[in-house]
């Protein structure tokens, strides 16, 4: 199992669009995929038309009374499941804080997923918090959509520092440019010459495109209704690049797959 978190300190940068579209493309490859909507606003759940309410509530989930597996919902697409948003972030924070190892709470909650999924995409809420520290702990890579503006670059560099300062080097940092508007000269400038410090491993950028915005109306991954649009093609390229980065960085995932996989 590989865990990929769509993460940024900022909101409205394309995190959810990334998690939903890459999750869909991974499932198209034949992999078993889970998208975990960890943003209380529930945008990913909304795109997949899943009602955000978890029966029985998330409290019991974090107290290990229930397995995550019981609250997962199948989507309209084969191999692609969703774990709906039902945590108020504050709530999750408090519960994680309660345990003995607050930074590792998510890891034990996620353990049962191990033999059921090849990829878990976590759609995060924008922040640096205990929840995000947990996300760093469980993830193989952070996908960081970044709008090419000066301010965003500074935020990204904060994140890079944060990762180093906290020694979170097991997790691969994969920033890429998102919502790139070719009409804006600043966007063009930054995309063509990204600052060296960022050492961007991913070359693909996602263009700003109205088809992506339409996901809110269609309530479906981009590829299902505009497969040949520039943005959809960009997401496909992005997925290919992410896979090769993953293959390079870790020979095995932080979540070693057990050889004896069973059907659930």
Partner 1 sequence: MSWNCQYNIPNSLSVRRLTQGLKRLVSCTVDTQQSIQTTFYDTYDWRLYASRHVLEKQCENSNAGTLHLRSMEKTGAHAVVKMPHEPITFLQDLPNTAIRRQLASIIEMRALLPVASIRSCTTTLRLLDTNQKTVAYLELQESHALTSTGRTQGQVIRRACLVPVRGYATTARRLSRLLTEDLGLESAGGDLLNAVLAAGGRRPGDYSSKLGLQLDPNMRADAASKLVLHRLLDIMRANEHGIRNRVDTEFLHDFRVAVRRTRSLLVQLNNVFPGRTQNRYRRDFQWLQQITGPARDIDVYLLKFAEYQAMVEPPLRPALAPLRVYLEQHSTSLYRRLTRAFDTARYNKLIADWRAFLDQPSPKKSAVQNAARAIHDVANERIWRLYRRTIKAGRAINHDSPAQDLHELRKTCKKLRYMLELFQSIYPKRDIKQLIRTLKQLQDNLGDFNDLQVQSEVLQQISKEIHAKNRAGPETLMAIGNLVATLRQQREFERQAFFGRYKKFARPAMAARFRRLFRDAGNDARANKAA
Ligand X SMILES: Nc1ncnc2c1ncn2[C@@H]1O[C@H](COP(=O)(O)OP(=O)(O)O)[C@@H](O)[C@H]1O
Residues in contact with Mg ion by the rule CB under 5 A: 15-16, 39, 43
Contact status: 260 vs partner 1 (CB under 8 A): yes
If the CB atoms of residues 14 and 175 are measured against ligand X, the closer one turns out to be: 14
CB 88 within 8 Å of CB 62: no
User: What is the H or E stretch that residue 172 is in?
Assistant: strand 172-177
170: contact with partner 1 by CB under 8 A: no
Task: By CB under 6 A, name the one of 33, 212, 222, 226 that touches ligand X.
Answer: 212
Rounded-to-10 torsion of CA 181, 183, 189, 190: -10
Of the candidate residues 1, 16, 50, 106, the single one contacting ligand X (CB under 6 A): 16
Site string for partner 1, 62-101 (x = CB under 8 A): ---------xxxx-x-xx-x--------------------
* 47 is an interface residue for ligand X by CB under 6 A: no
CA distance 152 to 50: 31
| 11 lines the binding site for ligand X (CB under 6 A) | yes
The number of CA neighbours under 13 Å toward the Cβ of 261 is 11
Rounded to the nearest angstrom, the gap between the alpha carbon of residue 257 and the centroid of all alpha carbons in its chain is 20
Residues 32, 177, 175: CA angle, nearest 5 degrees = 60
CB of 145 to partner 1, least distance (A): 26
| Residues 204 and 174: beta-carbon distance below 8 Å | no
Give the one residue of 7, 24, 36, 48 binding partner 1; rule: CB under 8 A: 48
- Output the smallest distance, CB 263 to ligand X, in A: 33
Bridge partner residues of 81 (DSSP): 34, 74
Q: Where along the sequence are the contacts to partner 1 (CB under 8 A)? A: 28-32, 48-51, 71-74, 76, 78-79, 81, 118, 219, 257, 259-261, 263-264
């Amino acid at each position: 199992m590989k865990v990929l978190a769509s993460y940024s300190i900022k909101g409205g940068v394309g995190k959810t669009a990334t998690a939903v579209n890459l999750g869909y493309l991974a499932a198209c490859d034949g992999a078993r995929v889970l998208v975990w909507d960890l943003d209380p606003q529930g945008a990913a759940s909304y795109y997949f038309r899943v009602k955000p309410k978890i029966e029985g509530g998330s409290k019991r989930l974090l107290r290990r009374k229930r397995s995550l597996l019981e609250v997962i919902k199948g989507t309209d697409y084969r191999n692609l499941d969703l774990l709906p948003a039902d945590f108020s972030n504050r709530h999750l924070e408090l519960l994680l804080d309660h345990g003995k190892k607050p930074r590792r709470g998510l890891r034990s909650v996620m353990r049962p997923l191990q033999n059921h999924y090849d990829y878990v995409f976590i759609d995060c809420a924008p922040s640096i918090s205990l929840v995000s520290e947990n996300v760093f702990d469980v993830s193989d890579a952070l996908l960081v959509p970044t709008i090419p503006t000066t301010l965003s670059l500074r935020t990204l560099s904060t994140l890079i520092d944060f990762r180093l300062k906290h020694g979170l080097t097991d997790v691969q940092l994969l920033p890429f440019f998102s919502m790139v508007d070719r009409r804006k000269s600043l966007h063009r400038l930054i995309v063509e010459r990204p600052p060296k410090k960022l050492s961007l491993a991913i070359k693909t950028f996602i263009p700003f495109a109205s088809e992506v915005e339409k996901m809110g109306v269609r309530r479906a991954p981009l590829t299902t209704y505009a497969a040949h649009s520039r943005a959809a093609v960009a997401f496909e390229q992005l997925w290919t690049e992410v896979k090769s980065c993953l293959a390079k960085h870790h020979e095995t995932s932080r979540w070693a797959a057990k050889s004896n996989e069973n059907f659930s």
